[in-house]
Structure 1
Amino acid sequence: MATGDDEQPDPAPDAAKTPHFHGHRQRLKDRFLKTGGDQLADYELLELLLFQALPRRDVKPLAKDLLDRFGSFAGVVTAEASLIR
């Protein structure tokens, strides 16, 4: 019979409704500041740049598409603007 001592409290009601991506930008910025760019994947570095250009959009798919298209972080940031559009 359970005494209640080993039971875990229910998560906060709002926590269960919060999407997994909520706070993603801040977590990524914090990781960058804590560990540096060498510890981030290329698409995450691109996300950090794209956050500034597209402030209210999910930029992860765009970052991954750009990497597929240009081959690397360096390829994306050195590509001619006309090729990125």
Structure 2
Amino acid sequence: MTDTSTGPVAAEITARLTAALAPSKLNVINDSAKHRGHMGDDGSGESHFTVVIESDAFAGKSRLDRQRLVNRALGDLMAEKVHAMAIRASAPGEA
């Protein structure tokens, strides 16, 4: 099951990405239920996410540079609260 999450970690992800990258589209999806009982599942229900984000900040950037921008914006969340994150980052107008 995947759902758009509104828990405290998802809310912090949304707030940080919005502040840093001013996305035109942002969807934070909680994938944690798929990983229940697996390594990295901390029992919080908010350890694994997919982020779908569209921002002008990604224009002309490589896939790696886009992921670095997202990771930089999330900072300590990636080390302390999030075990895994899939990032689908695009600039406006990209397919």
Same fold (TM over 0.5): no
Higher normalized contact order (CA 8 Å, seq sep 6+, divided by chain length): 2
More helix by share: 1
More strand by share: 2
TM-score relative to the length of structure 2: 0.25
TM-score relative to the length of structure 1: 0.27
